[in-house]
Structure 1
Amino acid sequence: MADGERKGTKNKRILVTGGSGLVGRAIEQVVKEGEGQADEEWIFLSSKDADLTNAAETRALFNRHQPTHVIHLAAMVGGLFRNMKYNLDFWRKNVHINDNVLHSAHELGVTKVISCLSTCIFPDKTTYPIDETMIHSGPPHSSNFGYSYAKRMIDIQNRAYFEQHNRMFTAVIPTNVFGMYDNFNIEDGHVLPGLIHKTYLAQRNGTSLVVWGSGKPRRQFIYSLDLARLFIWVLREYKEIEPIILSVGEEDEVSIKEAAESIVAAMGFKGEVIFDTSKSDGQFKKTASNSKLRKYLPDFKFTPFSQAVKETCDWFAANYDLARK
């Protein structure tokens, strides 16, 4: 039975792994707000639906939902210090997840898979800006080599599935994503949500805000709702196996210090801000070129950083008891 017959007019069944996370929630939001199309059925899954490190559970999940398209977001993720401590775990779990998802998609004849990579996969020692051609041109930063290599292998598998089976499996490479439904854990989360949580607590408790590191490293941050809209464009329009970087421009890169100042302003924090230079800075910069994206979408409008930070801070404050932290 054809998929269109099975589901009426819905001839696309889009399965989103990691659907309860930061990016998955953002995609769900923009779909509900009008970005979805009449012929699309969206299925958002979380870790409660299946253990994707288990091949049999993953295959059963795919058999149950019969997707035509997959957005693969599920991963073991963490901030700098957790990565440094558990490189082996990050490697093994992510390799299992990625292989199970891609192979199940292949076996079921899924039309298209879009996996989510990260700019940390790029070589540590490189020239800037980095672009899509440079993924495999040297080892990644030593702090998170397990996660980085596991993500790189998705690109290798995508190419292999295309060469051997003509599968349209591709990947996107976002820069630092932030927004509502992020993981705001101070110890294990990423830099921006961790700073938002720290600022909230410092304000509530009347204490200083302590920022780990010097504040000098620079990052390109992309708002989760902007990334969600770009994911949907990739799903519908992007026809390459080669990955594509999804990012704001190089001119929109900010330092951790500037990011902290934006959060302080958004939350109206009036206390002292201290930079703890005994903590590691990690990689100084990972400046990425979005020139390939701009060739496709020259007029795409990114949410201004200060506005996106304000919306995220407001959401966190309003949903403090429910937020992941």
Structure 2
Amino acid sequence: MASERKTAPMRVLVTGGSGLVGKAIEHAVQQEGGKLEGEEWIFLSTKDANLVDVGQTRAVFEKHRPTHVIHLAAKVGGLFLHMKENLHFLRDNIKINDNVLQTAHEMGVTKVVSCLSSCIFPDKTTYPIDETMIHNGPPHDSNFGYSHAKRMIDVQNRAYFQQFGHRYTAVIPTNVFGPYDNFNIENGHVLSALINKTHKAKTAGTPVNVCGSGSPRRQFIYSLDLGRLIIWALREYDEIEPLILSVAEEDEVSIKDAVHMIADALDFKGKVHFDTSMSDGQLKKTASNAKLRRYLPDFTFTPLQKGIQMTCDWFIANYDIART
């Protein structure tokens, strides 16, 4: 079954195709020989369709007639915007996800792989987190609207399989970083915001001010590794149950260690100040990649220092177009 799908020509529609993960998938397809003969890949951005609108979603699906979909598009924002507008994040993301999944169903799409987020897991839980624990309790209060909307993708995937036999599934990456990320200091991902902050401090000759003690620990996955894994999941992963895509538990690092890696990559010699009057947030969100390793025991992740160096190099080289 899997080999039949793999050899048949695919027309893959990637929603959210201009973002961090979409650009990584595009790189893997176009630069690394990830595209098979006869395949077509279409990378959508917000300019192509507003997926909150069912009519625009339908129109873009009718235009491209995909056989497969990688669903990355989401309404996202920084921590404080999430805290202020949980209802907006809930409603818009429920609409986006329902429009994409239902339109895929109506148009006979063979497979959909949606991208969830590690923030969907229960706030109070045991570690390491695994795929069976998504619905075991409420997510963190700060972005509960976004988290519940993302959880509903898993619920819908199960329902589409139960009612129609569709193989719609989802992957759950841990903290992603890499080229084309949002480097905005206020609402970017943690590593990318720190890269921009350190670059500005080096230019200005000032210290880097890091929010919190630097003690929270995170598992960081380089975006190009994630892109390769999502392409693999589209071709080979046949379960409806979600799959965590992450480096190993022992590769979890503290924010403090990550900041020093960034300083090394940017040749920043100044002082790093940890502002302990600011909140640390969750101290850890350790996830298990045991299920992924059962499928791909030999997959090699980009070492964190190397991924940070490549991201810093990209940021400096593309500063004029980077999202800052």
TM-score, normalising length: structure 1? 0.96
1:157-196 alignment to 2 at 5 Å? Answer: 157-196=156-195
- Offset at 1:112? 0.1
Q: Which amino acid aligns with 1:207?
A: T
- Which amino acid in structure 1 is aligned with residue 135 of structure 2? H
Give distance in 1, aligned partners of 2:217 and 2:226.
Answer: 20
CA distance in 1, matches of 2:276, 2:89: 27
- Please tell me the residue identity of whatever aligns with 1:95: I
Aligned partners of 2:78 and 2:188 also within 8 Å: yes
For 1:249, the aligned partner's letter is A
Question: What residue is the counterpart of 2:9 in the other structure?
Answer: 11
Amino acid at match of 2:310: E
The equivalences for 1:24-173 within 5 A come to 24-33=22-31, 34-173=33-172
Provide the secondary structure at the position in 1 that maps to 2:122: coil
Residue number in structure 2 paired with 1:293 = 292
What is the one-letter code of the residue matched to 1:14?
A: V
What CA distance in whole angstroms lies between the structure 2 residues aligned with 1:316 and 1:19? 19
Q: State how many pairs are aligned.
A: 317
CA shift digits 1:15-50 (9 cap, x unpaired):
000000000000000111211111311000100000
* 8 Å Cα contact 1:10/1:38 also seen in 2: no
**Could you say what secondary structure the match of 1:35 adopts?**
coil
Which residue of 2 is the match for residue 5 of structure 1? Answer: none
Distance 1:310 1:85 in 2: 34
8 Å CA contact retained: 2:205, 2:270 = yes
C-alpha spacing 1:74/1:185, structure 2 compared with 1 (3 Å): same
Aligned partner of 2:136: which letter? S
Alpha-carbon separation, structure 1, partners of 2:254 and 2:82: 21
1:264 aligns with 2:263: yes
Q: Distance in 2 between matches of 1:263 and 1:150?
A: 33
Q: TM-score, length-normalised on structure 2?
A: 0.96
Task: Give unpaired runs (5+ residues) of structure 2.
Answer: 1-6
Q: How many angstroms does 1:110 deviate by?
A: 0.2
Distance 1:180 1:242 in 2: 29
The one-letter code matched in structure 1 to 2:111 is: K
Query: What is the rounded CA distance, in whole Å, between the counterparts of 2:213 and 2:157 in structure 1?
Result: 38
Q: CA deviation at 1:10?
A: 7.7
**Which letter maps to 1:110?**
V
Q: Deviations over 1:61-108 (max 9, x none)?
A: 101100000000000122323322222221111111101000100000
Q: How far apart, in 1, do the equivalents of 2:135 and 2:288 lie?
A: 16
Distance 1:323 1:45 in 2: 19
Question: Percent identity over the alignment?
Answer: 70
Find the residue that maps to 2:235 and give its secondary structure.
helix
SS of 2:323 mapped into structure 1: coil
Which digits, 9 at most, give the CA deviation of each residue in 1:144-181, with x for residues without a partner?
A: 11111110000001001111111111000000000000
Unaligned runs of 5+ in 1: 1-8
Amino acid of the structure 1 residue aligned with 2:233:
V
CA distance in 2, matches of 1:279, 1:110: 47
Q: Which amino acid aligns with 1:255?
A: S
SS of 1:274's equivalent in the other structure is strand
1:166-211 per-position Cα deviation (integer Å, ceiling 9, x unaligned)? 1111000000000000000111111111000100100011111011
Whole-Å separation in 2 of the counterparts to 1:11 and 1:261 = 46
SS at match of 1:133: helix
Correspondence for 2:18: 20
Aligned counterparts of 2:81 and 2:190: Cα–Cα separation in 1 = 12
| 2:323 counterpart residue number | 324
Root-mean-square deviation (CA, aligned residues, Å) is 1.1
Amino acid at match of 2:208: L
Segments ≥4 residues shifted beyond 3 Å: none
C-alpha distance in 2 between matches for 1:274 and 1:90? 33
Counterpart code for 2:162: E
Give 2:250's aligned amino acid: E
| Separation in structure 2 between the aligned mates of residue 284 and residue 145 of structure 1, nearest angstrom | 18
Residues 239-260 of structure 1, C-alpha deviation per residue, up to 9 Å, x if partnerless? Answer: 0000000000001001111111
1:153 aligned partner, one-letter code = M
- Give the 5 Å matches for 1:215-230: 215-230=214-229
Are the aligned partners of 2:9 and 2:37 in contact in 1 as well (CA < 8 Å)? no
Match of 2:237?
A: 238
Q: Which amino acid aligns with 2:18?
A: S
**2:282 & 2:141 partners in 1: Cα distance?**
9
Give the Cα–Cα distance (whole angstroms) in 1 for the partners of residues 218 and 250 of structure 2.
Answer: 11
Counterpart Cα distance in 1 of 2:282 and 2:306: 26
CA contact (8 A) 2:49 2:60 kept: yes
